Chain A
Amino acid sequence: MSIAITTQIICFSVLSLVILIGALGVVLLESIVYSAFLLGGVFMSVAGLYLLLNASFVAAAQVLVYVGAVNVLIIFAIMLVNKKEDLKPISDIKSRRIISTSICLTLLSLLIRVDLTNVWSLSSPQNSIREESTIRIGEHLFSDYLLPFEVASVLLLMAMIGAIVLARRDVMSKDISTGLPVDQELIEKSSEPLLTNKN
């Protein structure tokens, strides 16, 4: 990387701050729509970190797949299921929060403890292959990682078919269980739940 070290440190700090504050916003904000857009910002900043690590191809893939596909998919899902509902209060919410927060903080301290234990023999920090990383990834994908590459295509096909089967409306004109005509419209109407609540 030919950028000066001061610039690198500034870029890294800004990107890390955006990632961490954005991630906190994703999990803490009340409105789910704001969370989705903040998630897009987090994905973009992660792509910036990849650029700092000399990985232009993965950064581009991150922007295309995460921001362009996953985030848009999430926003679509929010649009389809966005209904104002007042959630039932949970009685022991406070103890749950305390337990989960302490578990997360413990895990964080453990992970940071491991991170700071320097046991890896680091090679020269300058990336020796620079812009060749795309070529190198292509060579990997078509030689020693050929089988996982092909299996990944099968996985994507299965995911596509599975998503269509799970999410489509009934193609039959009558409901099997009730015998009533099925509404084929795109927007969900409020209907009787098929599965009743257990309590």
Chain B
Amino acid sequence: MMNLETIPLQAFLIVSSALFCIGIWGLLNSRNAVRVLMSIELMLNAVNINLMAFSSYVDNNLIQGQVFTIFVITVAAAEAAVGLAILLSLYRNRVTVDMESFNLLKW
């Protein structure tokens, strides 16, 4: 067994990859529109873990990755607010949150 001095960077990257793939699976397979938004949040969190890990291991003096993470959190908050507002107005017009019934743009 090798003697670790610190948690390897790869461990963080693997966790974030797995979280990202779970998010994509949820995005593709959910029928509830709220769950689709939750999957998007999961994917954004995976990206944030990635940025934070690199900022701490590769760039631990300037920590620009942490600044990027702050901006991603900002954009995620705005995205959640607008997404849920769109969802509410969709629900008002269609009386359902089933993703399969939102087919107005289908030709």
User: What is the interface of chain A, defined by CB distance below 8 A to chain B?
Assistant: 5, 8-9, 12, 16, 19-20, 23-24, 26-27, 32, 35-36, 39, 42-43, 46, 49-50, 52-55, 57-58, 61-62, 65-66, 69-70, 73-74, 76-78, 80-81, 83, 85, 87-88, 90, 96-97, 100-101, 103-105, 107-108, 111-112, 115-116, 118, 120-129, 133, 136-137, 140-141, 145, 148, 152, 155-156, 158-160, 162-164, 166-167, 188, 190-191, 193-195, 197-199
Contact = CB atoms under 8 A, between A and B. Distances in A.
* Interface size classification for chain B: 35 or more
Given A125-B5, A162-B85, 6 more contacts: A74-B41, A100-B25, A118-B10, A127-B60, A128-B61, A145-B67
A159 B88 CA distance: 15
Tell me the interface secondary structure of chain A in the complex: helix
Given A5-B5, A115-B10, A166 B89 contact: yes
Interface string B17-35: 1111111111011111011
Contacts of A108: 17-18, 21
Tell me the interface secondary structure of chain B in the complex: helix
Interface in B48-107: 48-49, 52-64, 66-67, 69-71, 73-82, 84-89, 91-98, 100-101, 103-104, 106
A176 to B, nearest CB: 14
Q: Among B58, B64, B82, find the residue whose CB has the most chain A CB atoms closer than 10 A.
A: B82
A129 B61 contact: yes
A74 B84 contact: yes
Nearest to A195: B93
B25 to A, nearest CB: 5
Q: Among B29, B45, B77, B91, find the residue whose CB has the most chain A CB atoms closer than 10 A.
A: B45
A62 B94 CA distance: 34
A78 B34 CA distance: 7
Given A27-B35, A128-B60, A148-B71, A166 B86 contact: yes
A120 B42 CA distance: 26
